[in-house]
C-alpha cells in the first residue's frame, strides 16, 4: 500500500498529537487513513485530523495530502 507524502519535502512520515502534546509517528495511506508506524502504538486519544511533517514545518489534514491537492 502506498503512503502519501508531504507536499513540501516529499517524505511520508508524520506525527499526530494528543491534548498533552505527546506525539506518535504515523503514515497516511491512499485512503487518507492515519496509521501508526509502530504496531504497538495506539492512536486512541490522538487528534487524527491534523498531521505534522517530520521533515519540515508543514502540517495539515490527511485529506490535503491526496494526490492533486498539492504541488
Is 52 contained in some domain? yes
Asked whether residue 63 is domain-assigned, the answer is no
Has residue 67 been placed in a domain? Answer: no
Total domains in the chain come to 1
Residue 71 lies in a domain: no
User: Do the bridges between strand 59-60 and strand 34-36 make them parallel or antiparallel, or are there none, so unpaired?
Assistant: unpaired
When pLDDT is averaged across residues 10-15 and rounded to a whole number, the result is 96
The reply to whether 70 falls in a domain is no
Which domain range does residue 6 map to?
A: 1-58
- At residue 1, the pLDDT reads 73
Per-residue pLDDT tens digits for 29-70: 999 999 999 999 999 999 999 999 999 999 999 999 976 444
pTM of the model: 0.89
* 22 found inside a domain: yes
pLDDT at 68: 47
Mean pLDDT of all residues in 8-12: 93
The number of CA neighbours under 13 Å toward the Cβ of 6 is 19
Amino acid at each position: 500500500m502506498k503512503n502519501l507524502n508531504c507536499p513540501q519535502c516529499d517524505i511520508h512520515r508524520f506525527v499526530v498529537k494528543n491534548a498533552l502534546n505527546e506525539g506518535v509517528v504515523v503514515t497516511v495511506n491512499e485512503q487518507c487513513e492515519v496509521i501508526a508506524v509502530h504496531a504497538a502504538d495506539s492512536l486512541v486519544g490522538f487528534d487524527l485530523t491534523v498531521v505534522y511533517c517530520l521533515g519540515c514545518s508543514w502540517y495539515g489534514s490527511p485529506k490535503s495530502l491526496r494526490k492533486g491537492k498539492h504541488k
